[in-house]
Structure 1
Amino acid sequence: MPVQIIRVIRELSDMIPRLDTSRHTFYYQDAGEYCSGGWEPNTDIVETDTEVLIRVELAGVAKEDVSVKTKGGKLIISGNRRPQPSSSKLYFHQIEINCGDFIKIVTLPPALEHNEIVASFQEGMLEIHISKEDKAVEIPIAISTNAFED
């Protein structure tokens, strides 16, 4: 039994240099298929006494490629990080930076749905401030004496 363990260890030791070499020769000729989108940006959500702050990490995304909207009690942050253009043929050894379309959906508590929302974008960081001040809207309702009669 110990002889078999030693043989396995020796075989694994012999494989390590080959694996290291293959890592350097493995590459992608075209990043297009690896840049198809569908990613979610890193997001922090913090709360103070007066507001909820949402920070979204969007390094390399242009301001005009970002959209922020609310719909049905959800804050929807979407956009596109474009791949870096190149005039020459590239061979990718490693791809970790997402590109293409992205979306992040944050469910808003009912108390914040209609409150003031302000967004700013600077140095690759999107900040969204949602006021916690109660913005309940009062809607007067007319009362009719014949409302249920045909």
Structure 2
Amino acid sequence: MNTMTQWNPLRDLEEMQDRVLRTFGRGLGRRIPEGQQPLTMSEWAPSVDIVEDDHEYLIKAELPEVNKEDVKVTVDNDVVTIKGERKFEKEEKNKKYHRIERSYGSFERSFAIPDDAAADKVTADFKEGLLEVHLGKCEEKRSPHIEVAVL
């Protein structure tokens, strides 16, 4: 049986970029695969895992050296957004930096809420550099399609 796949004109370019990143190391940046990009890109993007069980969805974001006060989680129009900032260390007179590879500055990651997630059942915990956003599930799935009678 033949399967059809949608042609992506940028696929060759993405594969070439992956080869360059493998050759020269990840210091040049990390390409985010198609379909996994945040809605907005920023200076750096923390790594995220999204896990589902019978009761909830869990978003785990690695935020080392980010202060709890510098993290904001919002839900708007069925999108969860995590924003924050990792601040650069203050330079000290007797220190010379020979290499700086860690990223600093603001970040923003956004994720669409699944149909069976309850936007009003969202909690977040932050400790030891790990943010956990808990999205409770609805009893019934939200309908992605609603028929409206025309009067």
TM-score (norm 1): 0.61
**Counting helix residues as a fraction of each chain, which structure ranks higher?**
1
Q: 1:43 aligns with which of 40, 48, 64?
A: 48
User: How far apart in 1 are the matches of 2:58 and 2:133?
Assistant: 6
Higher mean displacement: 48-57 or 37-46: 37-46
How far residue 76 of structure 1 moved from its aligned partner, in angstroms, is 0.4
Amino acid at match of 1:125: L
Structure 2, unaligned runs of 5 or more: 1-41, 143-150
Would you say the 8 A contact 1:115–1:132 is kept in 2? no
User: How far apart in 1 are the matches of 2:47 and 2:127?
Assistant: 16
Would you say the 8 A contact 1:119–1:126 is kept in 2? yes
Structure 2 match to 1:68: 73
Identity %: 34
Would you say the 8 A contact 1:63–1:121 is kept in 2? yes
Query: Is 2:80 the partner of 1:107?
Result: no
Would you say the 8 A contact 1:74–1:108 is kept in 2? yes
Structure 2 match to 1:57: 62
How far residue 108 of structure 1 moved from its aligned partner, in angstroms, is 1.0
Structure 2 match to 1:3: none
How far residue 72 of structure 1 moved from its aligned partner, in angstroms, is 1.5
When residues 133 and 94 of structure 1 are mapped into structure 2, their CA distance, relative to the original with a 3 A threshold, is: same
User: How far apart in 2 are the matches of 1:69 and 1:51?
Assistant: 17
Structure 1, unaligned runs of 5 or more: 1-36, 138-147
Structure 1 match to 2:98: 93
How do residues 25-44 of structure 1 correspond to structure 2 at under 5 angstroms? 38-44=43-49
Query: What secondary structure is seen at the aligned counterpart in 2 of 1:64?
Result: helix
Per-residue CA shift, 1:55-95, capped at 9, x if unaligned? 00001000000000011111000011011112216543222
Highest Rg: 1 or 2? 1
Question: What count of residue pairs does the alignment treat as equivalent?
Answer: 102
Per-residue CA shift, 1:14-60, capped at 9, x if unaligned? xxxxxxxxxxxxxxxxxxxxxxx611100000111111111000010
